[in-house]
Chain A
């Protein structure tokens, strides 16, 4: 053969180089691991960075807040990640985020886990929201009682005709169990009546990975019924008026009906911090509760006050 790679044979040099490289990577790896001892309860993120994670209902609102806040405080880095309220709270307890966004209350079990990790979670209500019941635009249904919604989602009513609408099977569209909206809907709609404390979603429900997923399905499927945060209600779907009593009144969700409490499926949206917030996190949250409320309205949620 013609050795095209003929150089001075110093193979050991390369072997040495390889060893040094591996050592370097290993050292880097473990020194990085070392500077974050597992018992360290300090915020996991470097100064100047705020990490927000959680509710998919809140994720687009949080995004809007970050965009707005950057005009005021261009030096603060804020990252927003979705995944569901449960994901956000779990990450906060694990110490990987500063702020958990949640569309439901933290459970007592989650509080216990947080305390066990040396945290004292503080709750902030950052906006109000209604869960709107949405159907396809062509569906003639106008109003539903909580009882009827429960019967639909537990699988007792399976055809729209039973509710005086057109003769089509009902397709149930829901979020998955990691979603705060799912938990809220289960606890405050399906299990609203104490006699039904063990009500469950029908196993035939389609579980969507996001609020926008429910929106898309309901927009396209004439048989579908879904529930979504007010911020995800667009004119290409029909919102059903909801009442407690078959005699009425039936109320459509809006800023006014959420605030005065006449729309029954409404809820506060929260963020949680690992303790009393300080520094940049505090400044950001203060801004969210004041100037940030403008974005709440813009995105179709209900601002505080």
Chain B
């Protein structure tokens, strides 16, 4: 066999292998769009559920998921980015910071249902928040933190050292260097990390199971102490708990959740490419 032929064969093989990765994703998305799209209408998106959730819409679940994602971001972004700045720009390599890093790595590997139980114990019971949006957001925020911290730290570290030294050589303080030079340069990476973390929060069922999610609550929440419905839990419930549930509504709900997550992903990509074009290294 000639070298040329071997190379061609090799490329074809590698191409096929990468196809193996793409095909299931396309199939899943395709299948959900195909069977879910007929269920999605304006009413489905904007109405309360009716007839034991077998008809009507999923409006409260959509609002619930948006609120939980916002609440998660409100807590996790400042804390996470702050921690990343500290770890990358200020922290010295000592026992304390090594312990922090170890904690972050361990946090990232904890199964989500354990976060749920932790949230139940701490926020719902000990701090008496009750099953509420507040308790759910805080639980999701803790789960999201490791992703945000580690990706943000990576992004900060990727900014060349010269930027910091030049900033200081021009008389800038350490913080000025971080605020004006390093953070803006690292922003695309940070935003990616933040959105990846929030995506995970938006799609999780286990952490909200005990802390916020309601099986059925056809009202919009009025305070952070209210329970709410949420898309992932709603999908779980209508697929396993409700007899004679029309398949179309299940697929429609899955499609809405998928669209929510993918559109957040798209926004992340757009923001990232916008900033990347303005990057100077």
Could you say which interface size class chain A belongs to? 35 or more
Write out, one digit per residue, whether chain B residues 236-257 have a CB within 8 A of any chain A CB (1) or not (0). Answer: 0100111110000000000000
B134 engages A32 (CB within 8 Å)? yes
Q: How far apart are B129's CB and chain A's nearest CB, in angstroms?
A: 7
Which residue of the partner chain A has the closest CB to B126?
Answer: A38
**Interface size of B in residues (CB-CB distance below 8 Å):** 49
B52 engages A33 (CB within 8 Å)? no
Chain A residues with CB under 8 Å of B97's CB are none
How many residue pairs link A and B with beta carbons under 8 A? The number is 129
A66 engages B218 (CB within 8 Å)? yes
Chain A residues with CB under 8 Å of B243's CB are 60, 211-212, 215, 231-232, 234
Q: How far apart are B148's CB and chain A's nearest CB, in angstroms?
A: 15
A67 engages B52 (CB within 8 Å)? yes
Q: How far apart are B118's CB and chain A's nearest CB, in angstroms?
A: 15
Q: Which of B3-11, B27-35, B105-113, B176-184 contacts A (4 or more CB under 8 A)?
A: B176-184
Chain A residues with CB under 8 Å of B175's CB are 11-12, 14-15
Known contacts A1-B163, A36-B127, A60-B241; is-contact A67 B78 (Cβ 8 Å): no
Chain B residues with CB under 8 Å of A113's CB are none
A84-108 with Cβ < 8 A to chain B: 91, 94-97
Chain A residues with CB under 8 Å of B219's CB are 77
Q: Which of A40-48, A131-139, A161-169, A278-286 contacts B (4 or more CB under 8 A)?
A: A40-48
B216 engages A66 (CB within 8 Å)? yes
Write out, one digit per residue, whether chain A residues 1-27 have a CB within 8 A of any chain B CB (1) or not (0). Answer: 111111101011011001001100100
Q: How far apart are B46's CB and chain A's nearest CB, in angstroms?
A: 18
A12 to B175, CA, bound (A): 8
A70 engages B218 (CB within 8 Å)? yes
Chain B residues with CB under 8 Å of A33's CB are 127-129
Say if the beta carbon of A121 comes within 8 Å of chain B: no
> What are 25 contact pairs spanning A and B, CB under 8 A?
A1-B163, A1-B280, A2-B280, A5-B184, A6-B180, A9-B172, A9-B176, A9-B180, A11-B172, A11-B175, A11-B176, A11-B178, A22-B78, A25-B78, A32-B134, A37-B128, A38-B128, A79-B214, A79-B215, A79-B216, A81-B214, A82-B237, A91-B131, A96-B131, A215-B243
19 extra A-B contacts, CB within 8 A, seeds A11-B179, A81-B215: A1-B166, A9-B176, A11-B172, A11-B178, A18-B78, A21-B78, A25-B75, A32-B224, A33-B128, A38-B126, A40-B128, A59-B216, A64-B52, A77-B219, A79-B216, A79-B217, A94-B124, A96-B124, A212-B241
